[in-house]
Amino acid sequence: MGKGKRVLTGTYFEMGNWACAEGAIAAGCEFVAGYPITPASEIINRLAQRLPQTGGTVLQTEDEISAICSAIGASWAGCKALTATSGPGISLMQENIGFAVATETPLVIVDVQRLGPSTGVPSVGLTADIVQVARGSHGDYQIIALCPESPQEIFDLTIRAFNLAERYRVPVFLMADGFIGHMREQIVIPGQDRIEIEHRKIPEPGKTPMERQDFLDVDVAPMPVFGRGLKAHVTSSCHDEHGMRNLSDPEIMHGYITRPIEKILIHRDDIIRIESDCDGADMAMVSYGTVSRSARAAAHLARAEGLRVGTVRMLTCWPFPDKEIKQISEDLASMLVLENNRGQLYPYIKAESARACQVEFLGPQTLGQIHDPRYILAHLKEMMA
């Protein structure tokens, strides 16, 4: 059924992890590497069956370090590549996440987050990797992280993750969690003609690396993928715009750090997506990922009681939507930040909004459980009192 088809147009009742695999194939994924881990395994399981039928390759590696390294290698071979894991796998991948950033390698990394620290609880979701994916590798850098709230959005944002990775030559994280990864819900896959697919720019042959700019362009240099006689020189060590190692020139060191950061920040308006439903609201709940479902339910309950409560949902958490949060806060009296952790993005949100309004944080009643909308409502009332 559907053998060889890239896009399985239709309506389904399937898991978020299934949607991720299908989103990857629809986006043109050609290479997947992964290591088994709960609650992410179904992504690789599905791709192992489906990807070869569409001409792709699947590699089950000896560990997550090998998974991300081989995915980066495949990306330099010219393939759209993905790896999928959970928090412990991300921890192992961190060094080479930095490699992908430093070498400006397009790559999609799916993190189906689980309860930690350490081995924690494999099957329970906790969105506590949100800072580690942005700050976990050593050095200073920017990545892109997208936060879906449902299986449908896992499908949609997996495609967007590939497109952003190709457009900006950067690793893009899809931050799912154990709840929506394993949740079954309606998934609508549109027709192939309605799915936009992007491909990285590649330099024309004929010039040497010393005559080209292969790296460090804030407007994204064409990627000199291997196997085309481009004689690309790729290193994650400090390098100039030709990719040549330079460990002595302070100006080059400065550019090596700042240009890949600026590449993301200059284009932040294109990358950042935020949904705000705050018309006429005095206060708003700010959330991302699975928790947004509880926030929406709590807003319904609050409005039914005549309370003017809005919702703000960050579909992009990195680069951080600082400007948007600040702007929204200026029309509000108070903000309640909801996260399924002990407040990882709260300091970032507070830094932008605390000048304009009162800001508080609310985790779930019990960490690892989904916020009960009635529990949120009770807290909203306390804040308003």
Partner 1 sequence: MSSSMHPFRRYMRGHVTRTTTCPGCGNGIITQAILRAIEGLGQDMDDFVFVSGIGCASWIPSPLFAADTLHTTHGRPIAFATGLKLGLPGKSVMVISGDGDLAAIGGNHLIHAARRNIDLTVVLVNNGIYGMTGGQTAPTTPRGVATITSPYGSLEHPFDICAMVAAAGAPYVARWTTYHPRQMMRSIKKALQMKGFALVEAISQCPVQFGRAARLGKAVDMLKYYKETSVSRKRVQDLDVEELRDRIVVGEFADSEKPELATQWIHLREEVMEG
Interface ranges with partner 1 (CB under 8 A): 3-4, 30-31, 33, 52-57, 59, 61-63, 65-66, 69-79, 81, 95-96, 99, 208-210, 226-227, 229-237, 244-245
- Residue 212 Cβ vs partner 1, minimum distance, rounded to whole Å: 13
- Residue nearer to partner 1 on the CB measure, 76 or 162: 76
- Residue nearer to partner 1 on the CB measure, 93 or 332: 93
Hey, what's the torsion of the CAs at 19, 24, 25, 31, to 10 degrees? Answer: -140
- Residue 19 Cβ vs partner 1, minimum distance, rounded to whole Å: 22
SS3 149: coil
Both structure tokens of 262: 């600026």
- Residue nearer to partner 1 on the CB measure, 46 or 268: 46
- Residue 137 Cβ vs partner 1, minimum distance, rounded to whole Å: 11
Measured distance CA(11)–CA(189) in Å, rounded:
6
Strands 334-338 vs 283-287: parallel, antiparallel or unpaired: parallel
SS3 153: helix
- Residue 57 Cβ vs partner 1, minimum distance, rounded to whole Å: 5
- Residue nearer to partner 1 on the CB measure, 62 or 279: 62
- Residue 121 Cβ vs partner 1, minimum distance, rounded to whole Å: 27
Please name which of 11, 3, 5 lies closest in space to residue 189, comparing C-alpha atoms.
Answer: 11
Residue 358, judged by CB atoms within 10 A of its CB (0-12, 13-18, 19+), counts as middle
- Residue 119 Cβ vs partner 1, minimum distance, rounded to whole Å: 20
Measured distance CA(372)–CA(383) in Å, rounded:
17
Measured distance CA(291)–CA(313) in Å, rounded:
9
- Residue nearer to partner 1 on the CB measure, 97 or 144: 97
- Residue nearer to partner 1 on the CB measure, 188 or 210: 210
Measured distance CA(345)–CA(179) in Å, rounded:
20
